[in-house]
Amino acid sequence: MSLITRCPACETMFKIVPDQLRVSDGWVRCGQCDEIFDASANMVQETPGATAAVAGTAAHWALASAGDRAETGMKVAPLEASETMSARVLPTPQPLTSGLAATTAEDPSIPQRVHDEPTAAALASEAGPSEALSDPSGRRRTDRGLEGGEAPGGEARRRTDPTSVPLSFMPERAVPSVWQGRGMRFSLALSAVVLLLGLCAQVVYVERDRIAAMEPSVRPWLVRLCEWQGCTVSALQRIDSIVVESSSFNKLRGDAYRLNFSIKNAAAIDLAVPAVELTLTDSQDQVLTRRVFLGAELGAKTSVLAPGAEWQGSWGISVKGTGISDHISGYRILAFYP
């Protein structure tokens, strides 16, 4: 089923099919004057007079390009290059001829120009239906040459040649990015692996004591690594898991005292033996003296406390000082890692 629409600019009528309107959302371009308009809004009832006015020669219709859509603000759906519109007729040249004659008559300075070239209608009538149909774009080229004053084989012919007009709706071929190359991808993947290994090595170096305490089987490997790096693998220090179970501070004689204590490892892994700080106070809880004892000084046989193990120590202390012994009335004991 064919429909008839009229160009609002040049009043040329054309036959179109519903599929073309559906693909382009109703927007088409006039093959005569290149006007872009809504074909559905300019439909003409199919009457014998309107059908006779439509020319039998086929003419190529192109949808609006991306630049035309940007200028007119109209939305055009993509259309295959093989889809074309039906034929159209040229407007009656009488108004153009009369206007030109009137202008020439009013202004004698304008030179009179006589076109010896036959019009498109005369060519079509002389050539016959078969020749007119064989060259659908001949009428457009002839009329444009007459109106623009240029030869039929000039710029107008190049503009109307479908093969010379780039298809605006076809996307340009994207230039491959340098980051998409196979060599670049391999280099990026190799760099990522190297960086990941470096990060793992840094974590192992910083957390070597914790790893050795939680995984005793890897301790020999960590020791070898530290021999190469110049570091040491020590027992893990976690003061929040060290608990002072009990303690006592008794006077033996004069300035001699004995300190007894019991420290427990409440963690599930091996921890380092802590140091002990002893503070002696008077009746006002003022500090008289303070001293720090390392594990080896308190008789610790090992530097590591096993999970759940208790370290019980006893140490004799001699307090020397002017009148300090007479003022001792209390003490405080604290386990910490120096």
211 lies in the same domain as 243: no
- DSSP-derived letter for residue 88 is B
296 lies in the same domain as 265: yes
In a domain, 312, yes or no: yes
258 lies in the same domain as 331: yes
217 lies in the same domain as 253: no
Classify the C-alpha dihedral 163-164-169-174 as positive or negative. Answer: positive
pLDDT for 125: 46
Residue that finishes a domain, picked among 183, 208, 234: 234
Domains in the chain, number: 3
In a domain, 286, yes or no: yes
In a domain, 119, yes or no: no
267 lies in the same domain as 299: yes
pLDDT at 286 over 90: no
226 near 277, Cβ under 8 Å?
no
- How does residue 96 score in pLDDT terms, banded at 50, 70 and 90? very low
* Model pTM score: 0.42
In a domain, 177, yes or no: no
Q: Which domain holds residue 51?
A: 3-72
Q: What is the CATH number of the domain that holds 318?
A: 2.70.50.60
In a domain, 227, yes or no: yes
Residue 304's DSSP bridge partners are 272
Sequence-distant (6+) residues with CB within 8 A of 260 are 246, 247, 248, 249, 250, 312, 313, 314
Classify the C-alpha dihedral 158-161-167-172 as positive or negative. Answer: negative
32 near 91, Cβ under 8 Å?
yes
User: Burial level of 227, CB count in 10 A (0-12/13-18/19+)?
Assistant: exposed
pLDDT at 127 over 80: no
306 lies in the same domain as 229: no
pLDDT at 39 over 70: yes
Q: Report the C-alpha gap between 89 and 107 in whole angstroms.
A: 32
243 lies in the same domain as 332: yes
pLDDT for 227: 86
- Residue 23: count other Cβ atoms within 10 Å of its Cβ: 15
Q: Report the C-alpha gap between 328 and 288 in whole angstroms.
A: 8
209 lies in the same domain as 265: no
Q: Count CA atoms closer than 13 A to 22's CA, side-chain side.
A: 3
Sequence-distant (6+) residues with CB within 8 A of 136 are 57, 58, 59, 60, 87
Q: Report the C-alpha gap between 120 and 145 in whole angstroms.
A: 10
Residue that finishes a domain, picked among 52, 72, 92: 72
207 lies in the same domain as 252: no
In a domain, 94, yes or no: no
In a domain, 191, yes or no: no
297 lies in the same domain as 229: no
In a domain, 131, yes or no: no
Q: What is the mean pLDDT of the chain?
A: 70
288 lies in the same domain as 217: no
Q: Report the C-alpha gap between 291 and 88 in whole angstroms.
A: 111
Q: Report the C-alpha gap between 172 and 41 in whole angstroms.
A: 33
pLDDT for 169: 56
* Structure-model confidence comparison of residues 40 and 167, the more confident one: 40
Q: Count CA atoms closer than 13 A to 255's CA, side-chain side.
A: 8
Percent of the chain with pLDDT over 90: 7
102 near 151, Cβ under 8 Å?
no
DSSP readout, 40-68? Answer: GGGEE---HHHHHHS-SS--------HHH
Q: Which residue has the tokens 């500090």?
A: 287
211 lies in the same domain as 271: no
pLDDT for 131: 42
Residue that finishes a domain, picked among 175, 210, 234: 234
